[in-house]
Amino acid sequence: MMPSRRDFLKSTGVLIVSFSVNALAPRSMNAAQGPFATHPSHIDPKLLDSWLAVSSDGTITAYTGKCDFGQGILTAQTQLVAEELCVPVSRVKLIQCDTDRTPDQGTTSGSQSTPTNFNDESLALAAATAREALMSLASTKLNEPVERLTASEGIITGSSGRHAAYAELVANTHFDIPLNTNAMRKPVALWNVLGKPVPSLDRAALMTGRFEFVQSVRIPGMLHGRVVRPPGMGATLVRVHEDSVRDIPGLVKVVVRKNFVGVVAETQHQAVIAARKLAVEWNPGPDLPPQGNFFDSMQKQPSHDALSVDSGDLGTKLAASGALVRARYTYPYQMHASVGTSCAVADVKPDRATLWSATQSVYPTRSVVAKILGLPADKVRVIFVRGSGCYGLNGADAVSFDAAVLSQAVGKPVRLQFSREDEMKWENLGAACVVEHQAALASDGTIAVWDREHWIASLGNRPGYDRPGNVISGVLLGYEPEPFARQQASPPKGKLRNNSNAVPAYFAGFIDGKCQGGGTIRSERALTHTVPSPFFTGPLRSPARIQNTFANECFMDELCARANDDPLAFRLKHLQDPRLIAVLKAAARAANWQTRPMQKPPKSRTGIVSGRGIACVNYEGDNGYSALIAEVEVNLDTGLVQPKNFVVAVDCGPVSNPDGLRNQTEGGLLQGMSRSLVEEVTWDSKHITSTDWARYKTLYLDYPMPSIQTVFVTPDGVPALGAGELSITITPAALGNAIFDATGVRLRTLPFTPERIMAALQESRKGSIS
Amino acid sequence: MLKPIRLKVNGQESTVTVDPETPLLFVLNDQLGLQGPRFGCGMAQCGSCSVLMQGQVVRSCVMPVGAVGVREITTLEGIGTLEHPHPLQQAFIDEGAAQCGYCLSGVILTAKAVLDANPRASDQEMSDALGGVMCRCFAHLRMLRAIRKYAEAKKA
């Protein structure tokens, strides 16, 4: 079991917090992007008792539906509750994602935890409601008006000096009040706990090997499972030869359900051997499209189309323009590829089930598992236990479904952990994407017209509350993935939606008579074609946003090069959004940016050249702002790219924990660097072949790392926004732009491998000779 | 198939009765209840299952338990406790050198083995040793900083 929280908190010291109600600020506007869908559950999110309790020892227990899988939200949420209740961090115990205990907050994903829980609803509102309720109770008890009371360290003191501890006011009893939508959050200026670099609460346990991951969960009587997956997509089961494993000691059962095959044994080792030896006949599925021309074939698929913006004058504007600039960008399938393979422990009884799972969606998983097992949802309990870092949707949901099926089949608890191949062959990949741009400059060197469309591959997704078939396990059990529906695009209406960052930041976003974008370009179109994918796809960190931003921000640089302008100045000329402008300027200041056009291509064919690249994003249109300046060296003899320095500016509103935000920002940049330089899914005619670390590359700890400088931009009076996906979104573009500045070569596909760079250099030299 | 096997892990002797071909990792996790080494790939490619065997880093996912013999095994929890972390673990705590933390056995024990063998190991030697260790959350910079701090303190 996990060590006590007191052990965790020893190193954090005691934070003295003090707060008086007189200093309250009015509530700010909430973040615009919506939170995840939720369903009603037995824990009513409108009631304070669903979120918070005070124990007799003064400990505050808070219940959250947003879980920590390495991004630091455990610590930040603990700070939030401590801040609002005027107690030290060590006095707060946070219970994360357990369908028996926490409210349904949908999925922890999409950079939505901070917008949802740190503004004026959910956990933040509960904590503010609780503080006001305690103040009101103290007012009655001490017979003094609330205005004269001060809360500090869990004790409310009146002007007379008389005081009451929280525990005396409500200990172990219910508040029995609804969340008060008028409850006042503490203003940023008065924060004592939030906004401070409180060391992440899980550190000591992690570093000393005492942290309990889902992979470490062991329960009495537990057996071990393994799955036996088909040879490729679309393969169907013909026959399982159980006699092939009859002699394996400890084998408990071969489990077959439709196309799902698994084994259960007494030990992990026996399960591994049984899964390897089990003879299974499959009907192979259809051949996969060849990887060589996959992007071309994507563009020939039937598609589901949507227009984000369309000024309606593209035809005339493009025809009237002189030289058109055209470019096509491609982005490969990439993997979450968690370092630990996914794992779950299921204990399925005839009438109920318990699941220990690293799913980011305990309530949706509860519904889906109930459906698979044929149990009512309220008879299934899903308890979140952190797994290996996920970055979106790794195998955590799929392995949970599989473990439940195995446990039900043997009537005993089963622990299931995927093999490396199970994980990498069948996860929901980050989607392949093609972006085509055409644009023209006006005579003054600004962009007159920009048309862009993209094709993005899609199959499955998060399973949600009722779609087991959105991941491999569900499909094998006979459920369908979300059906693909062809659709023609209709003209955009209402609010500009830029969730996928299909719309470049420089578009005016003219819809229904209003400019809703952050840019100045009025002749504009952004068209999305969603096409069927031969592989499962899912929300890999910055889904669609990283693909689109790579293409948009690199093409912006191409237009800048055409205008022979400075890449920062050129961007600023096309922007009106003050927050995006502010992060660009902050990054430029910190990087000591020198105004100049891009460098001329190097004359030498050998040696090391260097360059700089800039990129920025307004994530999802309104969920965080970031700008990055990357400096790289490129070896002209080998094609090796070496990022040397990253300067990144981040504006995600008020910062809950600066150290946590730095950690997320740095990790995002370096993960983005890995995705830019080496990561690419490969396949043959039948299945994915990049199923281990020799074939799916990542940057190990020996790869020379750039230095990173992170600058926070924190405007007043704005809500808290997401931050976990900001820096990664702009890394590929900043690197691509820096490589161009260094070499004069524009790379329009990821990853930027030495082979691609050498080929592009050779191509450009041919051009310059002829 | 099942054989009693004597092991000395984190200073404690115990006897487990298992198939000697069982990977040491599974025995550490399932029989001895240790959580530090973790399954990552089963192919010695990532480092998550790393343990020290007589001071050398081994990948316990590919090490049959029957091959351990009398050599003493140390896991991540064997070098320090919550109350008294090893100075290298303390450096990782101070630097906040993790996100999910799943990979830490590989990172911390590899660095420890290098510096135990040679407290004056060069950056290149450290880098070479870390070449088989990965962190998919990319806490690389903080990890390298923690290792450097510990190495400098050890030298001094």
Average pLDDT over residues A67-71: 94
Of the candidates B35, B83, B96, the beta carbon closest to that of A199 is on B96
Length of chain A: 770
Q: Is A719 helix (H, G, I), strand (E, B) or coil?
A: coil
Count other C-beta atoms under 10 Å from residue B97's C-beta.
28
Burial of A638 (0-12, 13-18, 19+ CB in 10 A): exposed
CB contact under 8 A, B130 and A386: no
Mean pLDDT of B5-33: 98
* Mean pLDDT over the full length of chain A: 93
pLDDT of residue A171: 77
> What residue ranges do the domains of chain B occupy?
3-42+49-76, 87-155
Beta pairing class for A380-384 and A163-165: unpaired
Quick one: average pLDDT of A227-238?
A: 96
Binary contact (A341, B76; C-beta < 8 A): no
Q: Are A693 and B46 inside 8 Å of each other by CB?
A: yes
Nearest CB to B140; choose among A339, A390, A701? A701
Minimum Cα–Cα distance from A664: chain B residue: B99
Q: Please answer whether residues A345 and A412 qualify as being in contact, where contact means their C-beta atoms are separated by less than 8 angstroms.
A: no
Query: A627 pairs with which residues across the strands?
Result: A616, A649
Nearest-by-Cβ selection for B132 from A390, A420, A700:
A700
User: With 90 as the cut, is the pLDDT of residue A250 above it?
Assistant: yes
- Which pLDDT value is given to residue A39? 72
Domain segments of chain A as ranges:
5-207, 214-285+338-426, 433-769
Please spell the DSSP secondary structure of A560-573, one letter per residue. HHHHT--HHHHHHH
B35 interaction partners in chain A (CB closer than 8 Å): 209-213, 216
Tell whether the model's pLDDT for residue A5 goes beyond 60. Answer: no
- pLDDT score recorded for residue A37: 63
For an interface test with B, the pick among A339, A390, A427 (most B C-beta atoms closer than 10 Å) comes out as A339
Inspect the interface and report whether the beta carbons of B26 and A205 lie closer than 8 Å: no
Q: Could you tell me which CATH number the domain at A433-769 has?
A: 3.30.365.10
Secondary structure letter of residue A188 according to DSSP: G
**pLDDT classification of A8: cutoffs 50, 70, 90:** very low
Instruction: Please answer yes or no on whether B137 and A70 come within 8 Å at the CB atom.
Output: yes
Q: Which chain B residues are within 8 Å of A668, Cβ to Cβ?
A: 138
pLDDT at A34 over 50: no
Q: How confident is the model at residue B155 (pLDDT cuts 50, 70, 90)?
A: confident
The label of the residue with tokens 């192919």 reads B43
In a mutational test of the B interface, the residue from A208, A416, A542, A727 whose CB has the highest number of chain B CBs within 10 Å is: A208
Residue B63 has pLDDT above 80, yes or no: yes
* Per-residue model confidence as pLDDT tens digits over A697-754: 999 999 999 999 999 999 999 999 999 999 999 999 999 999 999 999 999 999 999 9
Residues 240-279 in A contacting B (C-alpha not used; CB under 8 Å):
249, 267-270, 272
Given CB atoms, is A554 within the 8 Å cutoff of chain B? no
pLDDT band at A172 (very low <50, low <70, confident <90, very high): confident
Residues of chain A numbered 632-671 and touching chain B (CB < 8 Å): 659, 663-664, 666-671
Task: Say yes or no: A695 contacts chain B, CB-CB below 8 A.
Answer: no
- Whether A18 has a pLDDT exceeding 70, the answer reads no
CATH class entry, domain A214-285+338-426: alpha beta
* pLDDT tens digits along B84-125: 999 999 999 999 999 999 999 999 999 999 999 999 999 999
Instruction: Encode pLDDT of A632-647 as tens digits.
Output: 999 999 999 999 999 9
- What are the φ and ψ backbone dihedral angles of A78, each rounded to 5 degrees? -65, -40
A9-18, A88-97, A302-311, A414-423 — which is least confidently predicted? A9-18
- By Cβ distance, the residue of A663, A668, A703 closest to B96 is A663
Q: Is A314 exposed, middle or buried (0-12, 13-18, 19+ CB in 10 A)?
A: middle
Closest CA to A676 of A745, A725, A722, A728: A728
- Residue A30, pLDDT above cutoff 90: no
Predicted pLDDT of residue A324: 96
- What is the spatial distance between Cα A262 and Cα A424, in angstroms, rounded to a whole number? 17
Residues in chain B: 156
Q: Is the pLDDT of residue A767 over 80?
A: no
Judged by CB atoms closer than 8 Å, whether chains meet at A702 and B139 is answered as no
Helices (runs of H) and strands (runs of E) counted in chain A = 19, 27
- Residues in chain B with CB shorter than 8 Å from the CB of A659 are 96
Q: How far apart are CA A85 and CA A68, in angstroms?
A: 22
Cα B30 → chain centroid: 17
Contacts of A421 in chain B (CB under 8 A): none
Q: Which CATH number fits the domain B87-155, given the four candidates 3.30.70.100, 3.40.50.720, 1.10.150.120, 3.10.129.10?
A: 1.10.150.120
Q: Check CB contact under 8 Å for A339 and B34.
A: no
Does A758 contact chain B (CB < 8 Å)?
no
Q: Which amino acid is at A676?
A: S
Tell me whether strands A236-241 and A433-441 are parallel, antiparallel or unpaired.
Answer: unpaired
List Cβ neighbours of A248 (8 Å cut-off, separation of 6 or more): A265, A270, A273, A274, A277
Nearest to A667 among B1, B42, B137 (CB): B137
* Contact indicator for A750, A547 with CB cutoff of 8 Å: no
Min CA distance, B99 vs chain A (Å)? 4
What pLDDT band is residue A20 in, cutting at 50, 70 and 90?
low
Are B29 and A216 inside 8 Å of each other by CB?
A: yes
Residue pLDDT, tens place only, A183-215:
999 999 999 999 999 999 999 999 999 999 999
The whole-number pLDDT of residue A36 equals: 54
Q: Which residues from A are below 8 Å from B36, CB to CB?
A: 208-210
Shortest CA gap A216–chain B (Å): 6
**B35 and A213: CB-CB below 8 Å?**
yes
Whether residue A7 is predicted with pLDDT greater than 80 in this model: the reply is no
- DSSP-based three-state secondary structure for A222: coil
Q: Return the percentage of chain A with pLDDT > 90, whole number.
A: 91
- What pLDDT score does A768 carry? 62
Q: By CA distance, what is A694's nearest residue in B?
A: B45
- DSSP character for B36? S
The C-alpha of A91 sits at a distance from chain B's nearest C-alpha, in angstroms, of: 19
Architecture of domain B3-42+49-76: Roll (3.10)
CB contacts, 8 Å: A272 with chain B = 42
**Which of A69, A648, A679, A701 to mutate: most B Cβ within 10 Å?**
A701
**Residue found under tokens 């591959």:** A457
State pLDDT tens for residues A131-143.
999 999 999 999 9
Shortest CB distance from A205 goes to which of B38, B46, B82? B82
Alpha helices in chain B (DSSP H): 24-26, 87-95, 104-117, 123-129, 140-155
Q: Is the peptide bond before A751 cis (omega within 30 degrees of 0)?
A: yes
Determine, for residues B1 and A249 on separate chains, whether the beta-carbon distance falls below 8 Å. Answer: yes
Tell if the CB–CB gap between A208 and B89 is shorter than 8 Å.
Answer: yes
For A394, phi then psi, to 5°, come to: -80, -150
Task: Identify the weakest region by mean pLDDT among A2-11, A90-99, A403-412, B100-109.
Answer: A2-11
Radius of gyration of chain B (CA): 15
How far apart CA A472 and CA A466 sit, in angstroms, is 14
pLDDT at residue A9 above 60? no
pLDDT for position A766: 84
CA–CA distance, B150 with B156 (Å, rounded to integer): 10
Give the pLDDT score at A41. Answer: 74
Q: Quick one: closest CA in A to B127, which residue?
A: A702
A234: which 2 tokens? 């679309």
Q: Tell if the CB–CB gap between A70 and B39 is shorter than 8 Å.
A: no
For residue A689, report the phi and psi dihedrals to the nearest 5 degrees: -105, -10
Q: Are B35 and A705 a contacting pair at CB < 8 A?
A: no
Cα separation of A584 and A573, whole Å?
Answer: 12
Q: Hey, are the CB atoms on B133 and A693 less than 8 Å from each other?
A: no
Alpha-carbon gap: A623 to the closest alpha carbon of chain B (Å): 22
pLDDT in tens, A443-493: 999 999 999 999 999 999 999 999 999 999 999 999 999 999 999 999 999
φ/ψ region of A2 (left if φ > 0, alpha if ψ in -120 to 50, else beta) reads: beta
Question: What sign has the CA pseudo-torsion B88, B89, B95, B99?
Answer: positive
B102·A213 Cβ contact <8 A: yes
Min Cα–Cα distance to chain A from B109, Å: 11
Q: With beta carbons less than 8 A apart as the criterion, state whether A521 and A449 touch.
A: yes
CA of B154 vs chain A CAs: smallest distance (Å): 19
Q: Is the pLDDT of residue A668 over 60?
A: yes
Please answer yes or no on whether B46 and A339 come within 8 Å at the CB atom.
Answer: yes
Q: How many inter-chain contacts (A to B, CB under 8 Å) are there? A: 199
- The single-letter code of the amino acid at A323 is A
CB contact under 8 A, A339 and B23: no
CATH number of A5-207: 3.30.365.10
DSSP string, A13-57: -----EEEGGG--PPPPPPSS--------SS-TTBGGGTEEE-TT
Per DSSP, A281 falls in state E
Contact flag A702-B128 (C-beta cutoff 8 Å):
yes
Could you write out the DSSP letters of every residue in A619-683? GGGTS-EEEEEEEEEEETTT--EEEEEEEEEEE-SS-S-HHHHHHHHHHHHHHHHHHHHT----B
CB-nearest partner of A389 from B23, B76, B137: B137
Using CB atoms and an 8 Å cut-off, which of residues 567-606 of chain A contact chain B? none
Parallel, antiparallel, or unpaired: how do β-strands A60-64 and A641-651 relate? unpaired
Q: What is the mean pLDDT of residues A32-49?
A: 72
